[in-house]
């Protein structure tokens, strides 16, 4: 490994001077700078971040904690974060972990984050009020999670639920089944409540399928249960796009036509949604943008900038595709 010492030696200066030029800090004569720069190039030197981190007590790393990137919604968040971090003057890198929504695992990761001097963490936790986070001395941004008292970036889940309900009702569903996502996940509950609110207001009846995870494997199970319990349902508001896929699959299997017999609306708008047949109508959450916003917010926090708004809510939107009927034009 080539160190600042080697550079100093080759350039015939002290390490202090080398440090000055590579950090572009303090006075250094043009000629000296040139010598150092040449030496840096000649030796292909690049500073050891670990040593820097030790001295400064802060690294150029940020910790990213997501439930499970195997669920296609999360990679988009991750990319948003990563890409935004890259755009910084001195870009940050990610140390990354999947929590599997396990508080213990989360704790372990947060621990290593700290041990590695990360400057901040972005977390899609189910336990925002856990003492893990309370005690953290570095900035945290909750992503895809609502938190009033802490910095957070999320989509308007409640409005998303309302939107889904409005659109499906407008298109003629009357016996709507709402899939209620895992109860410990706030955004999932928000969606659910939003949907129920509108359905009730419309004076309609509704049925509920309670799901306990967003796992792909289990999605089929809920879908089967749904059609078994509520065979007459003519509209499904799924807890996310994966669940919606499972519903489409099951509907097809048992011969129910989508959208004619039953309409389906998903949630998230994961990349594959548009490739389904029929393509999935869904409530879009701008995941990539959310990741970017979270990263931006964290950077501000890290740099102690004056923050105008610590809680960024992004809008959801209805993406009309093939699993809902065309709405009759008025008149």
Shorter beta-carbon distance to a copy of itself: residue 272 or 305: 272
Q: Which CB, 158 or 284, lies closer to a copy of itself? A: 284
Q: Does 23 bind a copy of itself (CB under 8 A)?
A: no
- According to CB under 7 A, which one of 10, 37, 38, 54 is a site residue for DNA? 54
Q: According to CB under 8 A, which residues from 243 to 272 bind a copy of itself?
A: 245-246, 248-249, 252-253, 271-272
Among 14, 23, 70, 212, binds a copy of itself (CB under 8 A): 70
Interface with DNA (CB under 7 A), residue from 56, 129, 229, 257: 56
By CB under 8 A, residue 110 contacts a copy of itself: no
User: 195 is written with which tokens?
Assistant: 């949907």
Residues 116-175 that bind a copy of itself (CB under 8 A): 116-117
CA atoms within 13 A on the CB side of 303: 14
Task: State which residue, 56 or 129, has the beta carbon closest to DNA.
Answer: 56
User: How far apart are CB 5 and DNA at their closest, in Å?
Assistant: 6
Q: Of 2-21, which residues contact DNA (CB under 7 A)?
A: 3-5, 12-17, 19-20
- Please tell me the distance from the alpha carbon of residue 145 to that of residue 158, in angstroms, as a whole number: 13
Among 44, 55, 149, 328, binds DNA (CB under 7 A): 55
- Shortest Å, Cβ 53 to a copy of itself: 5
CB of 59 to a copy of itself, least distance (A): 7
Select the binding partner of residue 310 from a copy of itself, DNA, none (C-beta < 5 to 8 A, by kind): none
Interface residues for a copy of itself in 273-312 (CB under 8 A)? 274-279
Contact residues toward a copy of itself (CB under 8 A) are: 1, 46-51, 53-54, 57, 59-61, 68-70, 72, 74-76, 78-79, 82, 93-98, 109, 111-112, 114-117, 216, 219-220, 242, 245-246, 248-249, 252-253, 271-272, 274-279
């Amino acid at each position: 490994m080539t160190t600042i010492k080697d550079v100093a030696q080759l350039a015939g200066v002290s390490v202090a001077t080398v440090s000055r030029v590579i950090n572009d800090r303090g006075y250094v004569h043009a000629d000296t700078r040139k010598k150092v720069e040449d030496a840096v190039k000649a030796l292909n030197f690049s500073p050891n971040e670990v040593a820097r981190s030790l001295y400064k007590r802060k690294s150029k790393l940020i910790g990213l904690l997501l439930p499970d990137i195997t669920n296609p919604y999360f990679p988009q968040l991750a990319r948003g974060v990563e890409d935004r971090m890259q755009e910084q003057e001195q870009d940050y890198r990610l140390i990354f972990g999947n929590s599997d929504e396990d508080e213990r695992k989360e704790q372990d990761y947060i621990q290593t984050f700290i041990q590695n001097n990360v400057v901040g963490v972005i977390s899609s936790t189910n336990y925002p009020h856990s003492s893990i986070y309370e005690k953290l001395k570095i900035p945290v941004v909750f992503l895809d999670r609502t938190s009033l008292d802490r910095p957070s970036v999320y989509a308007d889940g409640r409005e998303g639920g309302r939107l889904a309900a409005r659109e499906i009702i407008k298109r003629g569903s009357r016996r709507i089944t709402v899939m209620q996502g895992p109860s410990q996940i706030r955004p999932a509950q928000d969606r659910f409540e939003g949907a129920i609110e509108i359905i009730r207001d419309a004076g309609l009846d509704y049925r509920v399928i309670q799901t306990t995870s967003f796992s792909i494997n289990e999605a089929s199970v809920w879908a089967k249960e749904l059609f078994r319990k509520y065979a007459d349902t003519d509209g499904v508001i799924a807890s996310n796009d994966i669940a919606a896929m499972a519903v489409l699959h099951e509907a097809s299997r048992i011969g129910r036509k989508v959208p004619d017999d039953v309409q389906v609306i998903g949630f998230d708008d994961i990349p594959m949604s548009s490739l389904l047949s029929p393509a999935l109508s869904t409530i879009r959450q701008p995941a990539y943008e959310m990741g970017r916003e979270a990263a931006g917010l964290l950077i501000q926090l890290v740099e102690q900038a004056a923050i105008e708004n610590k809680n960024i809510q992004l809008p959801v939107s209805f993406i009309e595709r093939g699993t809902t009927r065309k709405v009759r034009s008025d008149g």
